[in-house]
């Protein structure tokens, strides 16, 4: 083909024969299939070579075949109904349908048809059709429809937001949750569905983050038109055009109401178990404590009897005669009171309060508290705590619970089978720059290899009446405070349970 300058272009052609030649040449080279059909049964009079690529037929094979024989059975009826529009109204007509390829499979075609009439008689001479493969478009349409259905049926709240932060579309779940079923929301700012804190977070972090990286995620609280609060995990996405400009934002918000309620319940449940475990520990210690309380009470009775004896038959009595027994009575009564207070504190149900605590004092209190259990088991509990120990961060009752569990376990493990008395050592040492380590070491049998991996499992116990909760709870209490709790066997025999605590700022 000879090359033409634009001035000699197609539109300038006056020569019919030349124009027809060029049209035929374009048809031959086009990737779209150009075909001509008889008006009655749409028989192929001509098909351009693209037919081979589109449908697998050679040109000679398809010429003479009726298009009706190749339509998908489901599309034939539709086509018959529409054909008159093409035939009689002279209109250009576009149609998407399935057409059978030579190998028997159907492909989607999009065709534009128009009638060619005899200029003299106005009779329809033939129908000219341009067809192209529409498989990709149909697949994309289907995928889009499927996505739209998913979007509408998901339980997550999906919101499309314009660049000025007004809402452009909400899915069904969002309309329902935000109580917008009856409302035209198109001019609403998305901030209207967020609490004040949520608005701050989205404008301060969310939108700038999404503009920068395309994506932002955070936990916020949304609120519906009627004021119901909905805690959500919110994903904010910025959608860009091919040129890179942000066109709009989308929000996918996952409702956390049930998760939050479950977390709250779990927290409550854990607190109940912690409390129950303290009651059990106290129950286990009850007989020893009763003994401990009995001692000061009988001592007081003795002191008071002594005073009574001195008074009997004496009109006047000097202070020096009763000074000692009275002072001792007061001291022992105070000691009994302290024991009772500690028991009450320990078994009381209360929210943890994190404060700065003095470890040496806490440890000696607990060792004293375990005195009677230690005596009964013939165990000596000693502490090796440097005087310059920094304050640690924790809740007093929780730390007492951990120490009590470890000391009582150590005493029980050390229970002398031979007559030699055993020692339990409670030591404190620096662990790292910002943590302190507390260890409780005993001279018992240590922990067998098999037990070592299960020690901290809930309900693992080798004791006849053990609950198996002490170590599991102690570990979770220590971990909640940012520390760790672990067990090792000592080379000289016996076990060592250590935990770390954060030093208070």
Residues forming the site for ligand ADP (CB under 6 A)? 405, 409-410, 413, 442, 444, 447, 451, 455, 460-463, 466-472, 495
User: Across the strands, what pairs with 429?
Assistant: 437
C-beta of 169: minimal distance to ligand ADP in Å?
56
Q: Specify the residue, 171 or 401, whose C-beta has the smaller distance to ligand ADP.
A: 401
C-beta of 494: minimal distance to ligand ADP in Å?
7
Burial 56-85 (b: 16+ CB within 10 A, else e): bbebeebbeeebeebbeeeeeeebeeebee
CA–CA separation, 37 vs 65, rounded Å?
10
User: Across the strands, what pairs with 160?
Assistant: 169, 250
Burial 266-289 (b: 16+ CB within 10 A, else e): eeeeeeeebbebbeebbebbeebb
Q: Specify the residue, 52 or 383, whose C-beta has the smaller distance to ligand ADP.
A: 383
C-beta of 475: minimal distance to ligand ADP in Å?
9
C-beta of 474: minimal distance to ligand ADP in Å?
7
Q: Specify the residue, 235 or 441, whose C-beta has the smaller distance to ligand ADP.
A: 441
CA–CA separation, 478 vs 437, rounded Å?
11
C-beta of 380: minimal distance to ligand ADP in Å?
15
Sign of CA dihedral 162, 166, 169, 174: positive
Under 8 Å CB-to-CB from 454, ≥6 apart: which residues?
Answer: 460
Q: Specify the residue, 326 or 490, whose C-beta has the smaller distance to ligand ADP.
A: 490
Q: Specify the residue, 389 or 409, whose C-beta has the smaller distance to ligand ADP.
A: 409
> CA-based diameter of the chain, in Å?
155
Sign of CA dihedral 366, 371, 373, 378: positive
C-beta of 423: minimal distance to ligand ADP in Å?
13
Sign of CA dihedral 75, 80, 81, 84: positive
CA–CA separation, 206 vs 216, rounded Å?
6
Q: Specify the residue, 230 or 455, whose C-beta has the smaller distance to ligand ADP.
A: 455
Q: Specify the residue, 25 or 457, whose C-beta has the smaller distance to ligand ADP.
A: 457
C-beta of 353: minimal distance to ligand ADP in Å?
25
Q: Specify the residue, 235 or 400, whose C-beta has the smaller distance to ligand ADP.
A: 400
What would the 3-class secondary structure string for 105-160 be?
A: CEEEEEEEEEEEECCCCCCEEEEEEEEEECHHHHHHHHHHHHHHHHHHHCCCEEEE
C-beta of 404: minimal distance to ligand ADP in Å?
10
Contact 500, 431 (CB under 8 A): yes
Q: Specify the residue, 43 or 278, whose C-beta has the smaller distance to ligand ADP.
A: 278
C-beta of 481: minimal distance to ligand ADP in Å?
18
- Strand 495-502 with 355-357, pairing: unpaired
Nearest to 425 by CA among 384, 386, 387: 384
C-beta of 385: minimal distance to ligand ADP in Å?
19
Radius of gyration of the chain (CA): 45
C-beta of 399: minimal distance to ligand ADP in Å?
16
Q: State the alpha helices, DSSP H only, in 202-355.
A: 207-213, 257-311, 319-347
Q: Specify the residue, 472 or 477, whose C-beta has the smaller distance to ligand ADP.
A: 472
C-beta atoms surrounding 383 within 10 Å: 16
C-beta of 177: minimal distance to ligand ADP in Å?
44
CA–CA separation, 428 vs 502, rounded Å?
13
CA–CA separation, 193 vs 177, rounded Å?
10
Q: Specify the residue, 329 or 409, whose C-beta has the smaller distance to ligand ADP.
A: 409
Q: Specify the residue, 469 or 485, whose C-beta has the smaller distance to ligand ADP.
A: 469
């Amino acid at each position: 083909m000879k090359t033409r300058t634009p001035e000699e272009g197609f539109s300038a052609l006056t020569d019919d024969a030349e124009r027809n030649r060029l049209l035929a040449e374009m048809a031959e080279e086009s990737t779209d299939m150009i075909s001509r059909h008889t008006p009655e049964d749409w028989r192929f009079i001509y098909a351009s070579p693209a037919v081979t690529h589109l449908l697998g037929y050679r040109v000679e094979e398809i010429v003479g075949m009726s298009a009706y024989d190749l339509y998908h059975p489901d599309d034939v009826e539709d086509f018959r109904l529409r054909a008159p529009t093409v035939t009689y109204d002279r209109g250009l007509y576009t149609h998407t349908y399935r057409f059978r390829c030579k190998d028997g499979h159907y492909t989607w075609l999009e065709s534009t048809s128009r009638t060619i009439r005899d200029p003299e008689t106005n009779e329809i001479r033939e129908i000219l059709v341009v067809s192209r493969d529409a498989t990709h478009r149909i697949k994309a349409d289907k995928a889009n429809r499927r996505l739209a259905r998913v979007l509408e049926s998901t339980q997550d709240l999906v919101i499309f937001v314009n660049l000025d932060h007004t809402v452009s579309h909400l899915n069904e779940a969002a309309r329902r949750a935000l109580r917008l079923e009856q409302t035209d929301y198109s001019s609403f700012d998305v901030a209207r569905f967020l609490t004040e804190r949520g608005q701050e977070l989205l404008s301060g972090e969310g939108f700038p983050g999404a503009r920068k990286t395309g994506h932002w995620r955070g936990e916020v609280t949304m609120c519906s038109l009627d004021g119901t609060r909905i805690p959500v995990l919110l994903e904010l996405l910025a959608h860009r055009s091919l040129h890179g400009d942000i066109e709009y934002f989308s929000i996918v918000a996952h409702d956390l109401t049930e998760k939050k309620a479950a977390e709250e319940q779990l927290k409550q449940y854990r607190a109940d178990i912690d409390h129950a475990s303290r009651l059990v520990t106290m129950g286990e210690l009850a007989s020893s404590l009763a003994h401990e309380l009995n001692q000061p009470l009988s001592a007081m009775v003795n002191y008071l009897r002594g005073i009574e004896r001195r008074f009997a038959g004496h009109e006047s009595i000097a202070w020096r005669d009763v000074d000692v027994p009275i002072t001792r009575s007061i001291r022992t009564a105070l000691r009994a009171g302290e024991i009772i207070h500690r028991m009450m504190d320990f078994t009381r149900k209360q929210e943890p309060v994190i404060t700065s605590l003095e470890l040496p004092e806490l440890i000696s209190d607990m060792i004293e508290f375990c005195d009677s259990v230690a005596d009964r088991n013939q165990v000596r509990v000693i502490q090796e705590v440097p005087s310059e120990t920094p304050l640690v961060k924790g809740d007093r009752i929780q730390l007492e619970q951990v120490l009590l569990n470890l000391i009582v376990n150590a005493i029980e493990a050390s229970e002398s089978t031979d007559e030699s008395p055993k020692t339990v050592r409670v030591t404190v040492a620096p662990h790292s720059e910002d943590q302190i380590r507390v260890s409780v070491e005993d001279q018992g049998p240590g922990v067998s290899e098999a037990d070592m991996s299960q020690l901290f499992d809930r309900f693992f116990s080798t004791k006849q009446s053990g609950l198996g909760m002490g170590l599991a709870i102690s570990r979770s209490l220590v971990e909640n405070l940012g520390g760790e709790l672990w067990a090792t066997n000592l080379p000289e025999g016996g076990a060592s349970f250590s935990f770390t605590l954060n030093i208070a700022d």
